[in-house]
Amino acid sequence: MIVTVDRHSGFCWGVVRTIEIAEQEMRNSGNIYSLGPVIHNPQEIARLKDLGMDVVTHDDFSSLSGSKVLIRAHGEPALTYELAQKHGVTLVDATCPVVTKVQERIRKYYDRGFQIVIFGKKEHAEVVGLNGQVNNEAIVIRNVDEIASIDLSRKTVLFSQTTMDKATFHEIAGLLRDRIQDFEVATFEESAVDFHAKDTICGQVSGRDAKLREFAAGNDVMVFVAGRNSSNGKVLYDICKDANPRSYFIENEGEIRSEWFTGANRVGVSGATSTPQWLMEQIKTHIEEFSHIEAGAS
């Protein structure tokens, strides 16, 4: 049985940047706090904790005077920066540059009087940060059924959480374009050289769709590794499952079942943009052990 790790999977560059910033801070000062889980992957969080990173919430700021707190890739609303200043907390801003660009764009549209609509998950950290840029006045929707909450008489702009699926986004955009006279879809500014997208979905995330479909279809069985709270992981797993019905979602190697691989010659391992490479390699080795056991038994 041949087991292959998807070479297009793993950390996106925004997550890589955040982890590098966190590790550099820990090398310099020994420890740092993260405002919420730095990424949606429990194994990577555990690794970083061993290096000196503890997870805190906004409520902990009052007892963290003089400490450094990392702003993770998802970004934060303006109120977080005000709270840190009030309590003498130094923020280390590791917001993904893509998210920062979306935050800048959403403020500009808000200042121009647009009704802000965000396609995303209301409680997701990135969406909380985006909504916080506009006094929490944005309308957050997850599907076409929630369009009813939008005032169709106002000039409106549609944004997206950067890790949502393009198909649903463009379906929503099409419906709103037909119903609202003054309607725009937010894009990255032309000055952002790497962001020539026609929406605010991260190109590195959406660009994985076709590659993941091809990889999944080329294997008998797929094992998709991601944290259960990973928004991006859920989107990519659905793509994987659509391309290969014998796809399984796991968070760690303890969830793997030997019966998944019955009759399989080729097994693929892939993961979300928050799934570390070392974890996928670990899963690969674990799956190969099943093959060795079967070979020995025969």
pLDDT at 193 > cutoff 60: no
Domain parsing of the chain, residue ranges: 2-10+205-297, 13-96, 98-161+166-200
Q: Model confidence at 198, in pLDDT bands (50, 70, 90)?
A: confident
pLDDT score of 194: 40
pLDDT at 221 > cutoff 50: yes
pLDDT tens, 31-55? 899 999 988 888 899 999 999 999 9
pLDDT score of 85: 97
pLDDT score of 298: 46
pLDDT score of 293: 54
Rg (CA), the chain: 21
In this prediction, residues 139-163 reach a mean pLDDT of 95
3-state class (DSSP) for residue 91: strand
Distance linking the first and last C-alpha atoms of the chain: 14
Task: Report the C-alpha gap between 191 and 186 in whole angstroms.
Answer: 14
In this prediction, residues 273-288 reach a mean pLDDT of 93
pLDDT tens, 227-261? 998 878 888 999 999 999 999 999 999 999 999 99
Instruction: Give exposure, 232-262, as e/b (b: 16+ Cβ within 10 Å).
Output: bbbbbbebbbebbebbbbbbebeebeeebbe
Burial class (CB in 10 A: 0-12, 13-18, 19+), 226: buried
Please state which CATH class domain 13-96 belongs to. Answer: alpha beta
3-state class (DSSP) for residue 155: coil
Length of the chain, please?
298
Q: Choose between 291 and 217: higher pLDDT.
A: 217
Handedness of CA 108, 114, 119, 122 (dihedral sign): positive
126 counts as catalytic:
yes
Active-site hit among 25, 126, 189, 259:
126
Q: Do domains 13-96 and 98-161+166-200 have the same CATH topology?
A: no
pLDDT score of 41: 87
**Hey, what CATH topology would domain 98-161+166-200 get?**
Cobalt-precorrin-4 Transmethylase; domain 1 (3.40.1010)
pLDDT at 206 > cutoff 80: no
**Residue in 234, 284, 291, 286 with CA at minimum distance from that of residue 5:** 284
In this prediction, residues 103-117 reach a mean pLDDT of 96
Q: Do the bridges between strand 247-250 and strand 2-5 make them parallel or antiparallel, or are there none, so unpaired?
A: unpaired
**Hey, what CATH topology would domain 2-10+205-297 get?**
Cobalt-precorrin-4 Transmethylase; domain 1 (3.40.1010)
